Amino acid sequence: MLPFILKRVFQSLLVLIITGAIAFSMFTFVGDPIDNMLGQERTMEDVERLRAQLGLDQPIPVQYVKFLGEAVQGNFGVSYRQGREVSEIIKERAPATLELAALSAVFAIVVGIALGVFTAIRRDGFVANFIMSSSLIGVSLPTFLIGILLIYLFSVELGWLPSFGRGEVVRVGWWSTGFLTETGLKALILPSITLGLYQMTLIMRLVRSEMLEVLRQDYIRFARARGLSERVINFRHALKNTMVPVITVIGLQLGAIIAFAIITETVFQWPGLGLLFINAIQFVDIPVMAAYLMMISVMFVVINLLVDILYAFIDPRLRVSAK
């Protein structure tokens, strides 16, 4: 078992280093940060001085190795745009994204499973068919459009919910939370629906098809024959057995929710990591871009690593082949 884990960990590190290298080589195409940092009155000397000061006059591989060396010690450098430590900024922005992602995940899971079970049980009902076909819209509409539509309906036309920002936040230590105030909670509603809608429809369709599969199985028929109530059959016996693949998908999608919060955060001016990243790209804020991309790749690599290891525990065949 141990050699298997070690091998996987080693592979993950390799993936991280390669991802970082690709990211770094792309930064040259994003543009020249110096241009944004100095005003139009700058002289060529200013440009040269700043370039040398930031180490941008060195070749990309050298810059990358330097970045890795510093990053290992937890130092991600200083944002070109905000002039503050990147780690500070990320710490400040993380709560907004994590709260949004958590609420979106809860929304996706609860609503997704409920609708999935419903559409599976009432397979031919009018309501179930309506839900199924409208869920196609949820899958095919791009996130920014859904966000804008929700803003138009609930903020501009009805005036019920705020169109941007987090509302009032309360500080708990270094963590800032929007869960403790009314405006904070209101501000969470539209962005989390926007962010979680895709995952919600995904989970719903998955639960439905798994459930239909399970309902056809013999033990369900036997349960019916025993005279168990529909509720017990559906929720205790059928749903439980559909959950194994659903949980796997949920785990993998959680990473996607955090990573793809970028668009939702831009539409709702949500002060989280995604918005930070978009700002960084426009300003060519290399330290922030590098730190964010590394963070996201670490997150994905860790999730995949855990999944691999869990599979190995569950399925002994994987362990054997690893030897």
Residues that bind another protein (CB under 8 A): 29-37, 39-45, 47, 50, 53-54, 77-85, 148, 151-152, 155-156, 159, 162-166, 266-269, 271, 275-276, 278-279, 282-284
Give CA–CA dist 321/189, Å, rounded: 47
Cβ of residue 34: shortest distance to another protein, in angstroms? 8
CB of 234 to another protein, least distance (A): 42
R_g over Cα of the chain: 24
User: Which of residues 84 and 224 has its CB atom nearest to another protein in the complex?
Assistant: 84
Give the residue with the Cβ less far from another protein, 74 or 83.
83
> Alpha-carbon distance 164 to 145, whole Å?
15
Measured from the CB atom, the residue of 107 and 268 that comes closer to another protein is 268
d(C-alpha 116, C-alpha 212), whole Å = 10
Q: Which is nearer to another protein, 27 or 107 (CB)?
A: 27
> In the complex, what is the shortest distance from the CB of residue 52 to another protein, in angstroms, rounded to a whole number?
11
Nearer of residues 135 and 194 to another protein, judged by Cβ:
194
Euclidean distance between the first and final Cα of the chain, in Å?
A: 9
User: Which CB atom, from 193 or from 215, has the smaller least distance to another protein?
Assistant: 193
Q: Pick between residue 192 and residue 201 the one whose CB is nearest to another protein.
A: 192
Three-class HEC string of 175-217: EEECCCCHHHHHHHHHHHHHHHHHHHHHHHHHHHHHHHHHHCC
CB of 82 to another protein, least distance (A): 6
Q: Is 270 helix (H, G, I), strand (E, B) or coil?
A: coil
Q: Shortest distance, CB of residue 194 to another protein, whole angstroms?
A: 12
Least separation in angstroms between CB 148 and another protein? 5
Question: How is 111-164 classified by DSSP, letter by letter?
Answer: HHHHHHHHHHHTTT-HHHHHHHHHHHHHHHS-HHHHHHHHIIIIIIIS--S-SS
The rounded distance, in Å, linking the Cα atoms of 265 and 100 is 9
Minimum CB–partner distance for residue 77 and another protein (Å): 8
What is the 3 state secondary structure string of 72-100? HCCCCCECCCCCCEHHHHHHHHHHHHHHH
